[in-house]
Amino acid sequence: MKKYLTGAAAAAISVAFVAEAAATEWNASLWGKRRAFTEHVEKLAELVSEKTGGEFTINISYGGLSKPRENLDGISIGAFEMAQFCAGYHRDKNRAITVLELPFLGVSNLEEEVAVSHAVYDHPAVQDEMAQWSAKLLMTSPMPQYNIVGTGEPRDELSEFNGMRVRATGGLGQAFEAVGGVPTSVPAPEAYNAMESGVVDTVAFAQHAHLSFGTINEADWWTANLNPGTVNCPVVVNTDAYDALSDEHRAALDASVEEAIAHYLANYGELLERWDSVLEEKGVQKVEISDEVLAEFRSTAADPIREKWITDMSAQGLPAQELYDLVISTLEETRATN
C-alpha cells in the first residue's frame, strides 16, 4: 500500500511539472489606461488564452512595469515579454520605422495605416534594427491622422502657428516646427498637465487620446482637417521569449494578430462615429482649416522634411528611399484592391 501511494504521489508530481512546463505567462507593458489605443493588445491576450485553453496568458500592465519611453529598453533586457511604444519617443533607437511618421504621407484611414505599417515592419532593414533591441515587431497600433486641441481663439492661419507651443512628437513635431511652432514631446500621460499649466498651448493627438488623457476637457477648439500625419506605435515582443514559445503557443500568438487588429479597427470606428457628439458635449468648437492654408502647410513641411529624412537616414546606412517608396507603393496597392 505504501509503495502504491508513493508511486501515485510521484505520478502526481510528474504531471504537475509537465503542466507547469506547458504553461506560459507573459507580461505586457503599456501605459495610461485601457482605451481604444490598447484594445488590440487586450483582444490578443483574450484570443491567445482561448486558443491554448488558458495555457498561454498575457498579463497587461498599464504603467506598472515601465515608463512609456523605457518600454523598448525593458524589452531589450527581457524585463517583460511584450510592450507597446511610439517611435517618436526615441527616434535614435528605431530610426527605420520613423518613415511612417513623416508628415503628410497621404494615409487616409486606419486600414491603410495598418497596411503601410506592416509592410515596413516586414522590411529586413527594419527587422535588423529592432533585433538590436531583442525586439520582434508583432503588430501596429493604427491611429487616424492627428489633430490639435487648443485654448483661446482658434489657430486657423499658418501665421498663427508661429510661436505655438504644441505637444507633438516625431515627424509631427518637425512639421509644426517648420511653420514656426515650438514642439515638445512630453509623454502622453503628461499632456493634460502640460496643457493645464500652460507649458503647451495646444496638443496634437488622435481622438482616443484627447479623450483618454483629458486634453479635450481643457480645449476650446479642435482642428477637424489639419491632418498633418500620425505617430507609429508598434507592439513588440522580446525575441528570446518568442523563440522559447512552444510551436503551439507561437502559432496561437501569430494567428491572433489579424483578429486583434480587426477588433481594434471595429472598436476605433465606433469612436470616430461619435466624435462629433463628444465635441458638442464638451463644448469644443470644430475648426475647419482652409484648403489654401493646408496647401501652404504641406509645401512648407512635407517635402523638405521628407528629403531631409531620406538624406539623413541614408547617411546612417539605412535604405531610406526604399522604405519611403515602400510606403507609397503599399498605399497604391491597398487602394487598388479596396
Q: Which DSSP symbol is given to 284?
A: P
Tell me the per-residue pLDDT of 173-213, one tens digit each, with 9 for 90 and over. 999 999 999 999 888 999 999 999 999 999 999 999 999 99
Q: With the CA atoms of 43, 48, 54 and 58 taken in that order, what torsion angle do they form, in degrees rounded to the nearest 10?
A: -70
Reading the block at residue 183, the C-alpha cell is: 514642439
| Residue of 44, 236, 34 lying closest to 129 (CA atoms) | 236
What pLDDT is attached to residue 338?
77
Query: What average pLDDT does the segment 107-127 reach?
Result: 97
Q: What is the chain's mean pLDDT, rounded?
A: 92
pLDDT category, 21, cuts 50, 70, 90? very low
Can you give the C-alpha Rg of the chain in angstroms?
22
Sign of CA pseudo-dihedral 184, 187, 188, 192: negative
For the chain, give the percent of residues with pLDDT over 90.
89
Query: What average pLDDT does the segment 304-333 reach?
Result: 97
Q: Could you tell me which residues come within 8 angstroms of residue 192 by beta carbon, excluding any fewer than 6 positions away? A: 213, 214, 215, 217, 218
24-30 sheet: strands from edge to edge? 56-62, 24-30, 82-84, 235-238, 135-139
